[in-house]
Amino acid sequence: MTAPMPPIQPLPKPQALPRSAYPVFRTITTRWMDNDAYGHVNNVVYYSWFDTAVNAYLIEQGVLDIHNGASIGLVVETQCNYFAPLAFPQTIEAGIRVAHQGTSSVRYEVGLFAQGEPMTAARGHFVHVYVDRHSRRPVPLSGEFQTVLATLQVTTP
């Protein structure tokens, strides 16, 4: 006879975070097509904004070459929590931070704010594993890449 499974404890309820939780911000312009039939931005668009904010920052910093770089980042995990609706024609401000950095992986966390608002309307994360463009095998992050990531690292929630 096997022992009964212990009860599953509920996870703490996610909370909105303030702007101070994010060291870097990027502006994203909403589009008419981002709204869904309910009059707010559809949930799938938020994931696109996460990718756009992080990858644009890495490209601007010179550590990601999406066309010719030897390595690329593959998303292996993603998640989002929603706290307030966003809708076209709002301007969105995406806060970016790094919560964890491994040898070849990075957990990016992104907070989405309505322009000028103090708390996240949504926040989430995704994990990139950086791999060789051709073999798709993990590769270590370069020193230059690690330096850029250091500007995004946080130790608070």
Compute the distance between CA of residue 111 and CA of residue 43 in angstroms, rounded to an integer: 14
* Cβ–Cβ under 8 Å, residues 141 and 130: yes
Question: Position of tokens 């990075």?
Answer: 106
Is the per-residue pLDDT at 156 higher than 90? no
pLDDT of residue 1: 66
Compute the distance between CA of residue 57 and CA of residue 49 in angstroms, rounded to an integer: 12
Beta-carbon count within 10 A of 82 CB: 18
Cα atoms in the Cβ-side hemisphere of radius 13 Å centred on 50: 25
Q: How confident is the model at residue 7 (pLDDT cuts 50, 70, 90)?
A: confident
Please state the pTM of the whole predicted model: 0.90
> What mean pLDDT is predicted for residues 23-41?
96
> What mean pLDDT is predicted for residues 1-15?
83
> What mean pLDDT is predicted for residues 106-135?
97
Compute the distance between CA of residue 113 and CA of residue 94 in angstroms, rounded to an integer: 6
Is the per-residue pLDDT at 157 higher than 60? no
Is the per-residue pLDDT at 135 higher than 80? yes
At residue 152, what are phi and psi to the nearest 5 degrees? Answer: -105, -5
Which CATH fold topology does 19-150 show? Thiol Ester Dehydrase; Chain A (3.10.129)
Lowest mean pLDDT among 10-14, 34-38, 58-62, 129-133: 10-14
Q: Tell me what the pLDDT averaged over the chain comes to.
A: 95
SS3 content of the chain, % helix, strand, coil (to 5): 20, 35, 45
